[in-house]
Structure 1
């Protein structure tokens, strides 16, 4: 039974999502749950950081938004981050967006374990909005 006349839209925002970058259980859930919801007619998508370790040949990305200017999460009123939003579309299976930022995501060897993790996730939140 449907309660809405239009398909429900859900955007999951997470630090990892399989098969793009998966460290643990969160990555597994962010891979499986959106796919299961899409199979039920929900427009479920994922937003994650663009990590350098992601295999670009396996997951071709298209520029969705270039030159997105985001305020720095730190106490720097004049600082801005220039970021891009990329999109991966595998039709009915997966639609994912990636926040691209060299300083916080692409130059890092790991997903977690940095002193500025809170600022990195704040940037992901701002980039999503």
Structure 2
């Protein structure tokens, strides 16, 4: 069973719970928090989730905040993370196929929960195409 990391801030809490329930039985989901709607600092939850994906403890990751921007920027500070901000399923598919994204960021304040689960499904069920995209992906990290 594929292992998935999930994390959010207070604005993404409800969507995190919806997505976890949606994935139940299909994936092993490791929840890095937050665990309530109380105001929090998203990096406190994103960094552990991103580390788990970068180290291979989880295969892919899902991050949620109000705009998706903060969690995405935080995750992308990790050397081996390619986190894509997705607000439609087609973006999730292309992020996996062409960029080998291993995490997605969802903007809870701008998409419906049903759309969020569709995006997650497409992200989790799409594979990297490799080929001509492999060389480009290898050029993304800069250190």
Q: TM-score range by the shorter chain?
A: 0.3 to 0.5
TM-score where L is the length of structure 1: 0.35
Higher strand share: 1
Q: Which has the larger radius of gyration?
A: 1
Greater share of helix residues, 1 or 2? Answer: 2
